Chains A and B, each alone.
Chain A
Amino acid sequence: MLDANIREILMQVRDEAADSGTQATLQLHHEKSHLMRIGNNSVSLNTSEDLLRLDMEVTEGRKQGSQTYLGPIEDVDTVRGILNAAREKARMASPKTYDPIPDVVETPISEDNQFDLELADIDPGMKVEAYHEIIEKLGGQYNYSGSWSSGLMQVYLLSTANRNEAYHRSTDQLFSIVLKHPRAKWELTHNQTGWRASDISIEKTINALSELLPIYEENDGFKAEPGEYTVIFGSSAVAEIIEMAVYTGLAGRSYEEKQSWTMKYKIGEKILGDKISVVDDPTNPETFMFGFDMCGRRRNIFPLVEDGDLMNLMYDSATAAKYGKKPTGHDTGSPSIVMDTGFGPADPLEAVKDMGRVLYIPALHYMNIPNRSKGIFTGSSRFNAVLVEDGKIGSPIFSSRVTDSFQNVLGNVKAISSVSESVNESNTYGRRAPVAMSVPSYFVSEGVKITDSADSF
C-alpha cells in the first residue's frame, strides 16, 4: 500500500492549499519497473527502476499551471515547494477563454484488484530461465530477441475540492520474443500479457512458434503485388486498427475541431460496418482496469460504437470545458478499449476456407495516418504473415503495405472471431502506464488495399 508517511505529507499539503483557497490537484505516481531485454540469444539488458513522481496542477480562475517533480518525497517542505512552483506558474499564466472544470475526486476509491505480489517482486532470474528454455527447445540456430517488462504501479490522487482519496495499485507485464532466421531473415514473434505472474506460459510460446516454424522453413516468400485482397487481421493488427480508429475518430477534441474521420456524422449515425461494436469498459479483466481518471472522475462502461453506429465521443476535461460538454472520464492514459467478438470459429483458417486466396496479417508495423479527415491509415505486415489458400497456410509473405481507410476495412468485415484476446498496447516512454485492449482474435475483411510490397521479409 501507499507509504503512510508520503500519504500524510500529501494530505497535509492538500489541507493547507484548501485552507488558503488554492484550487489544486495532487497526483503521485510510483513505479517499480523491471525489464529484461534479449538480443542475439543473450540478455542484452537487465534493468530496474524505482521512481516516484508528483504532479501538481493549480487553477486560479481561468489560469492554470503545473509542475512535475521526480525525486524523493521525505518532507512537507518538498511538496510545498512543488505546489508553490505550480501556483506561481498559474499566477503568471494568461487566462483561457473558457472556465476550466475543477478536478474533483468524486468518491473515495481504493482499488488493487489487478495486483499480484508475486509479479511485483518477480525474480529476474526466472525470466532468464524462461528465455533459455525457449532457445533450447526451438533451437540455437535461430537469432532470438525479445523483452519482458513487468512492474508495479501506484497512483494516488487528491484535489482541494474535498478530502476524498483515489488510490490505484496494479501490476502488469508484457512478454515478447522474436525468432529470426539468420539468413532468410524472416521473423516470427509471440507475445503474452497479463497482471499476474502466472499469466505467462512459456510452453504456450514454444507451441505457437513450433507450429509456424515448418511453414517458414519449407516455403519461399510470397510477394503480394499491389491490389485488393481479402485479409485476416490477427489480434495485434485488430488492436492497432481499432485503437487508431478510436483516437482519430471518437475523441471529442478531434470531432469538435473537425479533424476526425467521423466529423460529418452525428451521434446515432452509421460510421462502420454492422458487425462492429466498440466500448471503453474499465470492468473488462482482459484490459488493465482503471476505475477513475486523473481528474478524479469515476470511469464507467462507455459505449463508443454499437453495430456500426456512433454512440458516444470521449471528452477529456479541457475539451469538455472548451466546448461546453460534460467530461466522460477520459483524462486517462489507460483506457480499456474493447471490441466485441463475433460468431466466427476460433480458428481463422476455418473462417476463410471458402474464400480462396487470403492474406493473414497478424500484426501491422509502424502504423500512421496520412489523411485523418478520411480516416486513411498505413502500415506494413511483419511477423507471422502468411498466404492462405482455401483455408490452408501456403507461404510466408514478404513485407506488404496496407494503405486503406478505417471505413473500408471495418465496413467490409466478413467474419469476426468468437474468441477474445488481450493485446498489450503499453509503451514505456516516461512513466509506467499499462494499457491493454480486448479484441477478437481475428477479423476477416474483403477488398483491403495492398499498396506496396518488398522483395524481403
Chain B
Amino acid sequence: MTEVNVKKEIASNISRISSEGADYVDARYYLDDSSETLLLYDGDLEANDTTVECGIGVRVLWEGAWGFSATSDPSGIDACFAKAAANARTASRLVNVPLSMGAGEAVKGSYASPVEIDPFSVSLQDKLAFLSRLDNDLKEDFIFKRMVFVNFQKKKIHFQNSFGSEINKDLASVFGMIMVMALDSDGEMQRRSMSLYSTGDGTAGWKMMTDPELFSGHAGRIRSELAELIKAEPLEYGRRSVILLPGQGHLQVHETIGHPLELDRILGYELSYAGGSFVDLDSFGKLRYGSDKLSVSSYGSIANSPGSFGFDDDGTPERDYLLIDRGILVNALTSRAMVNEANERAGREVFEQSGGAARATSFYRAPIDRMTNVNILPGNDGTEDEIIASTEDGIVVDNPVSWSIGSNREHFHFGCEIAWEVKNGEKTRVLRNPTYQGHTLEFYGSLSAVGDKSTWKVEQVNNCGKGEPNQVMQIGHGVPVIKFDDVITGERK
C-alpha cells in the first residue's frame, strides 16, 4: 500500500469511528523509525546493530476511556482502528473519572530536527574509523577497559486526529558516550565517562559527534581524571556543600523536578509502576520548591535537543513556559486530557492549556505525559571557578553511577563517578565513591548558587523509562553549574 493510500485510509477510519460516537480519535503513522547502535568495547566492535520499525498506532477515546491498538501491517489498518475502538468501548465500562480531550482545533504543520549531515548517510566505514580514533585516544597503560558508544535515531511520523489536524515530523537524535575504567588502590573498579551534549543550537546530526567541544575532544580529560581517581581517598560521611556539574545536575533535575511535575503522575495514573508525586493540584502557585535562585522551564525553545519535537502526540505545538519561577511552583508537564482532568478535579483552572508534553516512544505505544526539555535557567553567580571560590567546605561532583528515588520523588540517593574536594574556595584533591542524599524540597531550598550562561549545557537523556506498557524516551536538560548547601554526603559507617 502506498504512503498516500495509507494516509487516506487513516483519514477515512478516523471519520468513520468519530461518526460512530467516539469522543476523539488519532493515529500516528511511522513511515520509518530507525536506530543504529555501534559499540567499541576495548577496541572490539561489540554492537553493530540497526533496527527498522514501521507501523501505525491508533488511539480512540470513547465515553471517557482510552483504547489503543497498533499494527505493523499496512493491510491491517481497518482492523487496527476497529480493535482500538473495541478496546475503548470495553474500557468505558469502568469509568469513574471520564477523560476528555476537550474541543480542539485543527493543527496543520510540520517539524524537522535541524540536521546538516544525516548520520544514516555516513558510511559504516567512516563511522567505525571515527570510533576507532576515539578509542585510540582513550588508550593508556593504566586503563583497564575502554568504551565508545554511539546511537543514531530517526523517525518519520505522520499524525492525524479527529480535530482535523495533520502533522508531519522528521525527528533525528544522536547520542554518544566515551568511558574509561581502571582499578583503584583497593582493587575496586573506578570509571570516568563523558556523554555528548548540545549547546542548544547547531544540528542534531553527525556534526555533533565530530565536534571536539561537544564530544570528540574529551578523551584526554577523562583519562587524566581517571588517573587521579584511582589514587584518591574515598569520600567521608558528612554534611557539606555539593556543587553539581551539568553531567550530574541534569539527572538531579530529571529525577526530582521533571518526574514529580508530570501531570499524569501527580493525578495518580503512574502509581502502579513509576510512582506518584509529592506535588498535588493545590501546590501550583503556592509551593516553594526551592530557593529564589531556582527557575525551571519546559522546552525552553531549545532548537537542538532530543526533547525538541515541534508538536506533541496530541498534536499540540511544543510550548516554552516556566515550571518553577524564582522558587515557586507554577506549572507542570502536561497533555490535553490531563489538563482537562486536573481543572475539572480542582474545580478551577489550575492549568491554562496543554504544555505539549504528550509523547509516545514508538508507533506501538500510547502517548503519556513526558518531559520535553526540563531546564534550570542560568543564574547570576558566575562561572564554575567563581562558584568554587565562594565555597568553604564542599565537593564538586560529576556523572551519575547510581540513582534511587523515593516513590513520590520526595527523597533521593545519588552516586557519582568523581568528586573534587573544595576547601576555602579551592579544589584541593579528587575523592572517589562520592554519594549524596536528600529530601527534594529541603535540597532545592538550599540552592545557593546558579552558574551563568557559560556553565549551561544541554545534556541528553536517551533512556528515560516510564509507563505501562513501558516506554523509553529521549529528553534534554539545559543545566548550569549549581550549588547546594548542608547536604548529606558519603555513607554512614
Contact = CB atoms under 8 A, between A and B. Distances in A.
Interface of A: 33, 35-52, 63-72, 85, 89-90, 92-98, 124-125, 128, 131-132, 140, 143, 145-147, 149, 176-178, 180, 185, 187, 189, 226, 257-259, 263-264, 318, 322, 365-374, 376, 378-380, 382, 399, 401, 403, 427-429, 449, 451-452, 454, 456-457
Q: Is the interface of B mostly helix, strand, loop or mixed?
A: mixed
A45 B67 CA distance: 6
Contacts of B93: 43, 125, 128, 132
16 contacts: A41-B94, A43-B92, A46-B90, A48-B68, A51-B364, A64-B48, A65-B49, A72-B75, A85-B50, A128-B90, A145-B270, A367-B404, A378-B413, A401-B437, A403-B491, A451-B413
A94 B45 contact: yes
Contacts of B347: none
Interface string B101-123: 00000000000000000000001
Interface of B: 42-46, 48-55, 64-75, 83, 87-88, 90-99, 123-125, 128, 132, 144-145, 181, 183, 187-189, 264, 267-273, 275-276, 278, 364, 366, 401-408, 410-411, 413, 415, 433, 435, 437, 439, 465, 468-472, 488, 491-492
B54 A46 contact: no
B188 A42 contact: no
Contact of A43 (B45, B65, B267, B408): B65
B46 A318 contact: yes
A147 B72 contact: no
A71 B406 CA distance: 39
A96 to B, nearest CB: 4
Given A45-B366, A145-B272, A140 B96 contact: yes
A452 B491 CA distance: 11
A365 B410 CA distance: 13
A428 B468 contact: yes
B72 A369 contact: no
Contact of A46 (B91, B402, B408): B91
Contact of A399 (B46, B96, B366, B411): B411
A50 B188 CA distance: 46
Contact of B68 (A45, A69, A131): A45
A263 B184 CA distance: 14
Given A47-B67, A429-B465, A451-B492, 8 more contacts: A39-B267, A42-B95, A45-B91, A63-B45, A89-B50, A366-B275, A372-B189, A399-B407
A67 B45 contact: no
A209 to B, nearest CB: 14
A372 to B, nearest CB: 7
B134 to A, nearest CB: 13
A306 B250 CA distance: 43
A37 B270 CA distance: 9
Contacts of B44: 96-98, 322
A399 B407 CA distance: 8
B271 A39 contact: yes
Contacts of A456: 278, 408, 410
Contact of B188 (A65, A94, A373, A399): A373
Contacts of B87: 46-48, 124
A45 B68 CA distance: 7
A97 B43 contact: yes
Contacts of A259: 181, 189
A445 B271 CA distance: 29
A69 B50 CA distance: 9
A419 B206 CA distance: 56
Contact of B69 (A48, A68, A376): A48
Contacts of B69: 47-49
Contact of B469 (A50, A149, A185): A149
A371 B70 CA distance: 41
Nearest to B75: A72
Nearest to A227: B492
